[in-house]
Amino acid sequence: MIVIGVDAHTRTHPAAAVNSQTAVELGTLTVPATRSGHERLLAWGKELDRERVWALEDCRRLSGALELLLLQAGEQAVRVPPKMMAATRKSQRTFAKSDAIDAVSVPGRPSATRTSPPPRSRVRSARSGS
């Protein structure tokens, strides 16, 4: 099983896949924060491993659309509070901000809040575009 951490930003979503037992990084990918970018991220995750959980930095205004797409696709997702990641970021960062470090630190904190499937009305309205 792998954990895919996503550090959501306004324009991009850097992601890192980590083996859940060994903590070995398996790869990184940065996609645009768009529907097609989210779909590409999901396809990438499926290529890496059959069993996966998505760890999303809990910044719903930035990660909400990705979270909804993942849940609609039947994926497992957890929200990781940004404060839980602060220690990991500080211990790995040198002088500059690194989206790759941030993405890896998300799955490093899996004691997160599991997201639940969206309410039926929310799914319908997302599909119909209203």
CATH number, domain of 113, equals: 3.30.420.10
Give 94: exposed, middle or buried? Use CB within 10 Å, 0-12, 13-18, 19+: exposed
Look at residue 2 in the predicted model and tell me its pLDDT.
Answer: 95
CA 89 to chain centroid: 16
pLDDT at 100 over 60: no
Look at residue 84 in the predicted model and tell me its pLDDT.
Answer: 62
Q: Which amino acid, residue 36?
A: S
Structure-model confidence comparison of residues 113 and 84, the more confident one: 84
The total number of structural domains in the chain stands at 1
Domain coverage including residue 49:
2-128
As a whole-number percent, the residues of the chain with pLDDT over 70 amount to 63
pLDDT at 94 over 50: no
Would you say the pTM of this structure is higher than 0.75?
no
User: Alpha-carbon distance 129 to 125, whole Å?
Assistant: 6
Look at residue 128 in the predicted model and tell me its pLDDT.
Answer: 42
Tokens encoding 107: 């799955």
Tokens encoding 69: 């797409």
Look at residue 76 in the predicted model and tell me its pLDDT.
Answer: 95
